[in-house]
Structure 1
């Protein structure tokens, strides 16, 4: 689901913000700052030179040459579970904490009986006159929609900000000069100057193994510096709802500890009772390396004011070292007492930083690129940095805004999982970038949604298998959170939900993964889809005047919703291509696992439907060109919110560079005709363009620049009117909703320009300009191959491929038959432009020009 979906439930202040003014300054905030590379212990290598990804990442540090006081200027740190946003203002450094596992877990699940079944609602909608302009003109439908949307209208569930820590100083004595984030190792440095011209640096990093932030103040020679801060304060989040238990504070001034604990009740307010075993809690604890004291100051009224609760002053006679720890889990495990913690004495800082740096070196060794286009190179490394900070196996799958939040930032649309692109998109980058470990949170999410998805299929649709919900939360659910018969009837979301599981197997070749993690969700999706398409309403010759199995009713993502007479509510291109994709995937899965005989009935249904499958919807442009469109009967001039027209190219992967000339022309006509209003197309539409070899790199860069924020992330920005937006729309209204996790997939667009393998055949540099140099190492291809290649002055040099699983390698020779292939040292002449060779696990294959 697009982030525009639930505009009516967005708090009004989000919709009425004045135009954001800092975008024009965004690019200036991204100064490429060169530092001396640290020693990389594990470099990515190929037979044609070496790329040190760690050193290249260090080139692309993110620098703000002034106090970074705004949340969207701050340096983003994280370990895949805990997130920290480091901001600096003229009188303090403020750290904002969030965590993927910390949510307001209350859940409204009312109206279960009133919602009824799909057939009951479908029958009533059929009776609404087809000549109505909108279904809401019907009183019953309008009231039903209000009832069905009641649960989603509650402010919970949502990510719960974990509080902040303020480290203050007297600005007469100290000034912040700049703030820098080294993305190679996650080190943030806030530079300061004292009134006696001493340069001081507060260094911060998140422990990649434990939910804690370490801080150290040093001088120009990296020696411990005497404390300059006059106060330190721990602040619970100001958006904490008043209908949950208040936080409890703990102060151990002698021990240098300030801490608060927040209980997150499982029950809604009217049901809440203390001590529910399903309640959760978190605790934020500051530990400094010396005792704290309460001091007084003269306030605005001229009276003395003592420091507030959870505020203290540190002696100015000791070095400043601190640790901030975030503990989360069941309320019974997060105790009232402040947990003991080892004191950060400088030695701990150094040792843990070295440990962290090894983890980052290993991360950057997974894959690497070296591009002469420094802007694209920076985008590639920075977004993979953000991905590593935001997601990891064992932590809850990030929602819309990942693990950075404060106040209402990160809570729009509940910050939840939208199953028609938002939750899938950030994980597209994990496959080609060779970071399959980062796809595991998504795999865990889909498996966790199986019970409610199967329950909804059985009880609401009265069909077998699983119907994945339109929106979902990382909390215990017993019904679809968004059961409205408009966006909640998007059939495409079920095959789309499980597609990422198949891709994980396709790119890894891991049969154990297929058997244990992917097979059952894919099978359950196919069970539902075959049953849905074989219903009489979807396969009735009298109604449809053909022998096809139709997808009916359904809704295109972010377009039309449910219409009177079901106009535009059948055979959407996205439904057709994703259903076809997952049917074929399951067919192959049964063959690979040897389960074809036991799945004979389901496979028979799949093959029957595929043999009587509807065609993709098309329309004619004003100039007479045929183009793909979202739904049958649609105008070729429709403005989309989600790039609907090219779904067959991506994510459907039915069409692409492997297609015949006629289809390629259809795709090109469609691309040139398609209009997208923005907000959901920065990665999506540009990746589609790369898949058909039509991405204009310079246009892509301009759009990325338009969407960049000063912190290095790309936000969702409106691009044009004539869709749902008008000339009064604030084009940047989504920019301050949160850190858009979905756009961390930007490196996937670059990867698709360098290499494509979706069809099973590897294509090198299919969308890369002839006059631009590019070198990539260990991009992952379908079939479990790691590919490295270089292009200089329009010429591709030697190509090296590693076969993980021993599958058959299919690759288009960059030189036609004018090349040689070397397998385990044995050379032979390339016979044709398309190479097909059986490999062995662990084998290296090298291609060279004669």
Structure 2
């Protein structure tokens, strides 16, 4: 197999959190700064959250929903929005917390011959500094089989001080061979976008307790406790083992080398399923390669590295037994994390898993499906209590405590404090999340999964929608309805509003849900009693509208767009990730117009990475190689940090996952049962190959090309998954 470009390399330590090298096993995350004299490793554990179990559902919502609907039908949008924001919204969710920092100090260590790198082939990071007798080598990995971070330091008679620091102020106990950490999470932490106030951080006594341990696994040096640190002297080797929340496992009587080999074998079983190359690697550090790209230099291989980095990050943040990847994957360094590092359902969480099927990482999907099963349980409570309806519902944000109510008001819900309906009043999160279920079946043809996992969840989503829709003059409508985080104006002088009826996204999600549920029943040969109701409602569901410019209307009327270049493309869901527009050339044409309208607005000034990733996927599906290349290049130039993390800003991991999916779709995609090879290959990637991409029907594909022309391809039927 041809050599791949699989190493992020740097000639200096990280200068801030957004230059670190991320490591993870799905649950435990580590961020390596790589300082020569002072090393900081930021630590995360996915279950460390503020808050505690609380029922945030509100039966009073049911009293106001009919009036909100009446106001909307009377086209009194501002009044309907005010009532929604005052009476229908619940409190914001809680925050994902940083565990703390492991700090290693190496007295008098120099930065001579310094290098820092992350090897995607092995999921191992290394830092080397100094030379001759002063040379120090540090090696880091987070093992899934052992559920621990391991750090090996080698040199000649070196000294190392080991300490722990945390903004959560835990109890820290130092003994001659370990550091033991115990603490309690705060009861509440506000999202970072709320201005600081007394309630922004409440320690209290109801938060969850946690523990952690930093142990000296082995060393030939001398160890003593000094000044709240472990001090190691006269060492040529030192191995540390870090476990958080849960104890390390499978390490008894295991050598470091055996643990490392087990880690690599486990990781490579997932990562090595796909290989890719776009030409010879440029022999420069990664940050310099990015800088060259911004000057117009060509570096095709950098896009292959970026593609594989997205796959690496999903493996590192989503493994069986873990939670699904959140807004920052599993890496967060602030107590008030960006957007609380929660799960945002109106694009971000679904985008995190766009690459999982096509890029042969189905092993990373169990966290998503397991979490969704638990969400259904909570969502049924919200549907019943808040809306008096059957089935399950979820809104735009979910935290560790599985809140499924519309979250949009500050903690405490004080009189006079209202939230914002433009993001909170969106009860379609459960529908979007459910769509991955049938897609999984399409790739794996697993009827057991379809029957035991997909069918029950799809049915609960259908039950809710059948109750949610309102029949008016023989047509079924969704209301109140919003298009995620966007607003409209009735006239240029009227205030922006978000709440109306029949957003294009609502209608497309409902249509796709009904189609997927019907197909599921057909495959399983189930004569479900819901099918008759679904068939009747589907036939009379309100339709997506086309405007005077030939564009898809985002709402039920041709309102004035408050932000013509808005970052969300919710009204184009049916183009991607959905497929319902494929069979209607009118909608495909209207989608192109809508895309052009939005991109000709203010979008050119945006650096929102996930939005750019969505555009790459749109143009890949439209087989437009010019615009696919334009926005793929924009992604790396405008929306990618030196450590290749995507930015909103700040760092948000969905851009990486969506970008990798976009590259895959540019090389191979399937629409309406048709396989498209190199449908949107950018001109700056004229030569290359890819092996192991997945197709529907339990198949994989390898292909290669030269001068932009397909040279070979092979399709393989997988005997097992």
1:754 and 2:683 equivalent? no
Q: 1:569 to 1:65 in 2, by over 3 A?
A: same
Q: 1:789 aligns with which of 703, 706, 720?
A: 703
For 1:88 and 1:366, locate their aligned partners in 2 and report how far apart those are by CA, in whole Å: 30
Contact 2:223 2:231 survives alignment (8 Å): yes
SS in structure 2 of the partner of residue 674 of structure 1 = helix
Quote how far apart the aligned CAs of 1:644 are.
2.8
For 2:307 and 2:439, locate their aligned partners in 1 and report how far apart those are by CA, in whole Å: 21
Question: 1:166-187 CA distances to partner (integer Å, 9 max, x unpaired)?
Answer: 1112236665722111111012
Contact 1:367 1:777 survives alignment (8 Å): yes
Question: 1:147-181 CA distances to partner (integer Å, 9 max, x unpaired)?
Answer: x44x31xxx62212122111112236665722111
1:799 and 2:707 equivalent? no
For 2:125 and 2:367, locate their aligned partners in 1 and report how far apart those are by CA, in whole Å: 26
Q: 1:340 to 1:790 in 2, by over 3 A?
A: closer
Partner of 1:437: 363
- Give structure 2 stretches of 5+ with no counterpart: 190-198, 280-299, 410-418
For 1:272 and 1:700, locate their aligned partners in 2 and report how far apart those are by CA, in whole Å: 44
Quote how far apart the aligned CAs of 1:557 are.
0.9
Aligned length: 664
Q: 2:245 aligns with which of 315, 318, 328?
A: 328
* Residue pairs, 1:348-367, within 5 angstroms: 348-367=255-274
Quote how far apart the aligned CAs of 1:105 are.
3.9
Quote how far apart the aligned CAs of 1:649 are.
0.3
Partner of 2:553: 629
Quote how far apart the aligned CAs of 1:781 are.
1.7
Q: 1:614 aligns with which of 528, 538, 542?
A: 542
Partner of 2:23: 77
For 2:231 and 2:320, locate their aligned partners in 1 and report how far apart those are by CA, in whole Å: 39
For 1:591 and 1:579, locate their aligned partners in 2 and report how far apart those are by CA, in whole Å: 18
For 2:698 and 2:36, locate their aligned partners in 1 and report how far apart those are by CA, in whole Å: 51
Partner of 2:334: 407
For 2:99 and 2:673, locate their aligned partners in 1 and report how far apart those are by CA, in whole Å: 45
TM score, norm. by length of structure 2: 0.84
Contact 2:24 2:316 survives alignment (8 Å): yes
Contact 2:632 2:659 survives alignment (8 Å): no
For 2:531 and 2:46, locate their aligned partners in 1 and report how far apart those are by CA, in whole Å: 39
Quote how far apart the aligned CAs of 1:454 are.
1.0
Partner of 1:585: 516
Question: 1:42-61 CA distances to partner (integer Å, 9 max, x unpaired)?
Answer: xxxxxxxxx46xx51xx331
SS in structure 1 of the partner of residue 266 of structure 2 = helix
* Residue pairs, 1:466-615, within 5 angstroms: 466-475=392-401, 477=403, 481-482=407-408, 486-533=422-469, 535=470, 539-541=471-473, 547-560=474-487, 569-595=500-526, 597=527, 599-600=528-529, 602-615=530-543
For 1:439 and 1:229, locate their aligned partners in 2 and report how far apart those are by CA, in whole Å: 43
Contact 1:104 1:157 survives alignment (8 Å): yes
Question: 1:407-442 CA distances to partner (integer Å, 9 max, x unpaired)?
Answer: 337x23221111101111110110111111112211
Partner of 1:385: 312
- Give structure 1 stretches of 5+ with no counterpart: 1-50, 219-224, 241-245, 296-306, 542-546, 717-733, 805-840, 844-850
For 1:172 and 1:362, locate their aligned partners in 2 and report how far apart those are by CA, in whole Å: 37
Question: 1:255-284 CA distances to partner (integer Å, 9 max, x unpaired)?
Answer: x2222122347899999997x8x9442313
For 1:111 and 1:781, locate their aligned partners in 2 and report how far apart those are by CA, in whole Å: 41
Partner of 1:427: 353
Instruction: Report the structure, 1 or 2, having the larger helix content.
Output: 2
Q: 1:172 to 1:769 in 2, by over 3 A?
A: closer
Partner of 2:596: 672
SS in structure 2 of the partner of residue 783 of structure 1 = coil
Quote how far apart the aligned CAs of 1:610 are.
2.3
Q: 1:739 to 1:231 in 2, by over 3 A?
A: farther
For 2:579 and 2:183, locate their aligned partners in 1 and report how far apart those are by CA, in whole Å: 46
Partner of 1:263: 184
Q: 1:690 to 1:629 in 2, by over 3 A?
A: farther
Quote how far apart the aligned CAs of 1:399 are.
1.8
1:231 and 2:148 equivalent? no
SS in structure 1 of the partner of residue 515 of structure 2 = helix
Contact 1:191 1:200 survives alignment (8 Å): yes
For 1:343 and 1:234, locate their aligned partners in 2 and report how far apart those are by CA, in whole Å: 25
Q: 2:96 aligns with which of 142, 150, 159?
A: 159
SS in structure 2 of the partner of residue 396 of structure 1 = coil
Contact 1:555 1:569 survives alignment (8 Å): yes
Q: 1:548 to 1:174 in 2, by over 3 A?
A: closer
1:106 and 2:52 equivalent? yes
Contact 1:67 1:176 survives alignment (8 Å): no
Q: 1:124 to 1:698 in 2, by over 3 A?
A: closer
Larger-gyration structure (1/2): 1
* Residue pairs, 1:6-21, within 5 angstroms: none
For 1:607 and 1:131, locate their aligned partners in 2 and report how far apart those are by CA, in whole Å: 29
For 2:579 and 2:85, locate their aligned partners in 1 and report how far apart those are by CA, in whole Å: 38
Quote how far apart the aligned CAs of 1:741 are.
4.5
Q: 1:116 aligns with which of 26, 41, 61?
A: 61
For 1:427 and 1:378, locate their aligned partners in 2 and report how far apart those are by CA, in whole Å: 19
Q: 2:107 aligns with which of 170, 193, 198?
A: 170
Quote how far apart the aligned CAs of 1:452 are.
1.5
SS in structure 2 of the partner of residue 318 of structure 1 = strand
1:639 and 2:565 equivalent? yes
Contact 2:174 2:225 survives alignment (8 Å): no
Question: 1:363-387 CA distances to partner (integer Å, 9 max, x unpaired)?
Answer: 2332222223212211111111111
Quote how far apart the aligned CAs of 1:476 are.
5.7
Question: 1:785-818 CA distances to partner (integer Å, 9 max, x unpaired)?
Answer: 21222222344334322234xxxxxxxxxxxxxx
For 1:506 and 1:137, locate their aligned partners in 2 and report how far apart those are by CA, in whole Å: 40
Quote how far apart the aligned CAs of 1:126 are.
3.9
For 1:478 and 1:672, locate their aligned partners in 2 and report how far apart those are by CA, in whole Å: 35
SS in structure 2 of the partner of residue 226 of structure 1 = strand
Q: 1:61 to 1:271 in 2, by over 3 A?
A: closer
Question: 1:181-219 CA distances to partner (integer Å, 9 max, x unpaired)?
Answer: 11110121111115x67433112222231222222233x
* Residue pairs, 1:283-294, within 5 angstroms: 283-287=212-216, 289=219, 290-294=221-225
Quote how far apart the aligned CAs of 1:715 are.
1.2
Partner of 1:20: none
Contact 2:40 2:102 survives alignment (8 Å): yes
Quote how far apart the aligned CAs of 1:664 are.
4.0
Q: 1:413 to 1:340 in 2, by over 3 A?
A: closer
Quote how far apart the aligned CAs of 1:480 are.
5.4
Quote how far apart the aligned CAs of 1:321 are.
1.4
For 2:688 and 2:111, locate their aligned partners in 1 and report how far apart those are by CA, in whole Å: 45
SS in structure 2 of the partner of residue 558 of structure 1 = coil
Partner of 2:619: 689
For 1:418 and 1:709, locate their aligned partners in 2 and report how far apart those are by CA, in whole Å: 22
For 2:720 and 2:250, locate their aligned partners in 1 and report how far apart those are by CA, in whole Å: 45
* Residue pairs, 1:808-827, within 5 angstroms: none
Contact 1:234 1:259 survives alignment (8 Å): no
Quote how far apart the aligned CAs of 1:591 are.
0.8
Contact 2:26 2:323 survives alignment (8 Å): no
Q: 1:361 to 1:398 in 2, by over 3 A?
A: closer
Q: 1:183 to 1:645 in 2, by over 3 A?
A: same
Q: 1:699 to 1:482 in 2, by over 3 A?
A: closer
Quote how far apart the aligned CAs of 1:116 are.
2.8
Q: Give the superposed CA RMSD.
A: 3.4
Partner of 1:21: none
